[in-house]
A and B are shown apart, each in its own frame.
Chain A
Amino acid sequence: DTEVTQTPKHLVMGMTNKKSLKCEQHMGHRAMYWYKQKAKKPPELMFVYSYEKLSINESVPSRFSPECPNSSLLNLHLHALQPEDSALYLCASSHLTPGLARGYEQYFGPGTRLTVT
């Protein structure tokens, strides 16, 4: 099973709202990722969690707040977003242990399409 699930599929929020994106995987992966993708562009890395600890923050504005409650779940809390934050938000996961995945390939969820009005 190589499935990563994300909820919701679509989200429309105002600039004063607080919302959360959720991601879940049951592949035993110990690394989880958040990416932001604008139309016709490659994904841009936002955050990486390794063994439930934040290991990479790509200088993301504080209006985005990640959380990794356990090894299967990843959240992205959103607050006071701007219209330019409208994008597809992708979650991914991968193994960290040598031997479990030859390439440490990342498996992606279907994404959440976020519109900020």
Chain B
Amino acid sequence: AQKITQTQPGMFVQEKEAVTLDCTYDTSDPSYGLFWYKQPSSGEMIFLIYQGSYDQQNATEGRYSLNFQKARKSANLVISASQLGDSAMYFCAMRGYNFNKFYFGSGTKLNVKP
């Protein structure tokens, strides 16, 4: 069975500072993928970043990086230089062998303060 855990229901960060959103996962599949999505109050889920289980390097996409620690089963999202527009709900997600099926964490609500 697949499980994703996000333990931070809400977080605050000062504008221009970096913030780390935590995500841990559990799976018995040897090959899996990890994703982060952003959901503003408008509702759309925006794909941010992907990390494959066999990737040797941590994924980066602009101001987003994924701190992947396979032995600890963690896939934390790091947002550098936070902006007011980063205020949103962030979901960590995982897929296993059945790549059609995504498992989502409970989400972290990030508030960026000016």
Q: Are A55 and B100 in contact (CB under 8 A)?
A: yes
**Contacting residue for A42 out of B33, B35, B50, B91, CB 8 A:** B91
**Contacting residue for B106 out of A41, A90, A94, CB 8 A:** A41
Report chain B residues within 8 Å CB of A50.
Answer: 100
Q: How large is the interface on B (under 10, 10 to 19, 20 to 34, 35 or more residues)?
A: 20 to 34
Q: How large is the interface on A (under 10, 10 to 19, 20 to 34, 35 or more residues)?
A: 20 to 34
A-binding segment of B14-22, B38-46, B71-79, B80-88: B38-46
Q: Are B105 and A42 in contact (CB under 8 A)?
A: yes
Q: Are A107 and B47 in contact (CB under 8 A)?
A: yes
Q: Mark interface residues in B45-68 (1 if CB within 8 Å of A CB, else 0).
A: 111001110000000000000000
Q: Are B50 and A102 in contact (CB under 8 A)?
A: yes
Q: Are A110 and B107 in contact (CB under 8 A)?
A: no
**A103-B50, A105-B50 known; A110 vs B44 contact (CB < 8 Å):** yes
A66 at the interface (CB under 8 A from B): no
